[in-house]
Amino acid sequence: MDALKTIAAGSVKESVPEFGIGDTIRIAVKIREGEKERTQMFEGTVIAKKGSGVAETFTVRRVAYGVGVERVFPLHSPNVQDIKVVRYGKVRRSKLYYLRDRVGKAAKVKEQIRK
């Protein structure tokens, strides 16, 4: 088990910003299209975080053209170039799956004022 931990420790990113459930974040993701490589931005609300260490993932949800889109990102993936926190959310749960059933303003998360 220790050998696995030492191998995994090499792939853990050092500069990961602190963000939590309910926060709105903007992720820069590397997309490969044939030979070309480009960066695509994905902005949405973090509705879940799971795992630990190198296997940690987070789920981000946004509504695009009236359709809910959710993506699961590995936190330490080399394809995730950058994560920026746009605003901090005020929530009392660790999983926000109930947002899937809500529409419009009811699907918003209140903003937390940080000093």
User: Is 58 in contact with 49 (CB distance < 8 Å)?
Assistant: yes
User: Is 43 in contact with 86 (CB distance < 8 Å)?
Assistant: yes
pLDDT in tens, 37-94: 999 999 999 999 999 888 899 999 999 998 999 999 999 888 999 999 999 999 999 9
pTM: 0.84
DSSP one-letter code for 35: T
pLDDT in tens, 90-103: 999 999 999 999 98
Q: What are phi and psi of 103, to 5 degrees?
A: -130, 145
In what helix (H) or strand (E) does residue 39 lie, and over which residues does it extend? strand 36-50
What are the chain's domains? 2-96 (2.30.30.790)
